[in-house]
Amino acid sequence: MSHRPVKRSLTLRGHRTSVSLETEFWDAFRAIAAERGQPINALAAEIDEARGTEMGLASAIRLYVLRHYRDRGT
């Protein structure tokens, strides 16, 4: 299990950005995007638009992943 976040690059609406996520969250995030049949950047853009200004993108992605699997009962 990876305890340290790793910086990952994303493109949101044409702009490069990075998020620091643990490998397990990154892998789950990629799996969710694949399950939905969409590029990871598109899913990241959806999460980015919905997160508001009070939360960082990495935290929003972690919560998205957590909710996805919790809601599925997995």
Domain ranges within the chain, ordered by starting residue = 6-72
For residue 47, which of 7, 19, 8 has the smallest C-alpha distance? 19
Confidence of residue 2 (pLDDT cuts 50, 70, 90): low
Q: Give dist(CA 9, CA 17) in Å, integer.
A: 6
Pick 6-72's CATH classification: 3.10.180.10, 1.10.3990.20, 3.30.465.10, 3.40.50.1980.
1.10.3990.20
pLDDT in tens, 13-69: 899 999 999 999 999 999 999 999 999 999 999 999 999 888 999 999 999 999 999
Q: What is the pTM of this model?
A: 0.90
Buried-exposed string 22-31: b where 16+ CB fall within 10 A, e elsewhere? beebbebbee
- CA–CA dist 70, 6 (Å, integer): 24
Residue 64, classified by CB atoms within 10 Å of its CB into exposed (0-12), middle (13-18) or buried (19+), is: buried
Question: What band does 1 get if pLDDT is binned at 50, 70 and 90?
Answer: low
